[in-house]
Amino acid sequence: MTEAAQQAVSILRDGSNFSWYVIPLFAFVVYVYAVEVERRNWNLVLAGLAFWGMDWFNEIWNSIFFHFNGTAPMWGAPGDTAYLILIGLNIEIMFMFAVAGVVFSKMLPADPKMKILGIPNRIFFALSLSVFCVFIEILLNKVNALTWDWSFWDAGSPWLIIVFGYLHFFLVSYWVFDMKTMRSKLVTVGTIWTVDAVAMLVFGLGLGWL
């Protein structure tokens, strides 16, 4: 097991690290969604929940990957945190992803057919923002807040991180945003979160792999 993985495991779900700043972070997340619910911006609410649900899916498979190789996860979060939920997901990251989908969806042009530099705007924003997110991860990695222990998943070869770390978050979130019917949006978001919940129950509570 790598040093970073050992450090993360040592604080995994350790409640003694709790800090009160978690409460205003939680309040901020509630406020962001409350504002959009008040305005009945269901497209934004459901796009945000889709984005957040996709991140949970990623964090779950990252933990399962670590369980099977026993060396290191694809990414770890061994640094200071109020609570490490999964080996690569602390509570601060969780709250960030909770609102990220809402924020990023606000950037979308009203016309989904509009092109930017000849690229459909949804694809353009998904790619651009994925690159931006990976750039932020590189900065976090440099200060050891986010660790990478595999040569195919690091700053020197960021393409897998862009595609499998973020791009599908944006594509699914924007897909939900543009769906024509509320039923389609609810079914899609409900499916994402159902898969996450079942995986947490089976691989987490049931098998203890997380």
Tokens of 195: 């898969």
101's enclosing H/E stretch is: helix 91-105
At 153 the three-state DSSP class reads strand
pTM of the complete model? 0.94
Question: Where along the chain do its domains lie?
Answer: 3-206
- For residues 115-146, one letter each, b for 16 or more C-beta atoms within 10 angstroms of the residue's C-beta and e for the rest, the string is eeeeeebbebbbbebbeebbeebeebbeeebb
Three-state SS at 119: strand
In one-letter notation, the amino acid at residue 197 is: A
Question: What values do phi and psi take at 146, rounded to 5?
Answer: -130, 125
Q: pLDDT 10s per residue in the chain (210 long)?
A: 999 999 999 999 999 999 999 999 999 999 999 999 999 999 999 999 999 999 999 999 999 999 999 999 999 999 899 999 999 999 999 999 999 999 999 999 999 999 999 999 999 999 999 999 999 999 999 999 999 999 999 998 899 999 999 999 999 999 999 999 999 999 999 999 999 999 999 999 999 999
Whole-number Å distance between alpha carbons of 177 and 42: 9
